[in-house]
Amino acid sequence: MTSPVLVFDVEPNSFETAEADKDYFLAATHLLFNESGFRKWQGDDSHEEAAARLFRGAVRSLVITLAEKGCRLITRETDQVIPGVPVTPVDTTGAGDTFNATFVTALLKGYSEKDACHLANRAAARSVGIMGARSGAVSWESVLMTLTK
């Protein structure tokens, strides 16, 4: 049986203040931030201090999306950048949602956080190369096929 997964997609407008909403963050198993959302959480702390505050709770991984640069995966054991996939952007609408949905799906299918980040980067890159938020939505098999390219 897999352990429960609780994921939050954290953007700057999705929480009031780090102090006011910290209980929600600490209850999550995985947190997905964009860069500005993490900066809001970080406040005056260093990047490392802000991440350490999150690991006081149930958090197993923290992912910060970095647009075309990929994402930063932070766990209790590692802090690494998973490079993005080069693409000529056509429409960035839905890229974050595509990344997040792919990351969560990969976790639920048993992939490691690192592999989930690789898959999510590839899915998001595919989504920005096509016009329209729904045009980039594809099957799980299509996402997996990007690994062979």
Which residues have a catalytic role annotated? 97
CB atoms within 10 A of CB 43: 12
13 SS3 class: helix
Tokens matching residue 101: 């949905």
Closest CA to 106 of 37, 1, 7, 11: 7
Contacts of 149 (CB under 8 A, 6+ apart): none
Q: Count of residues for the chain? A: 149
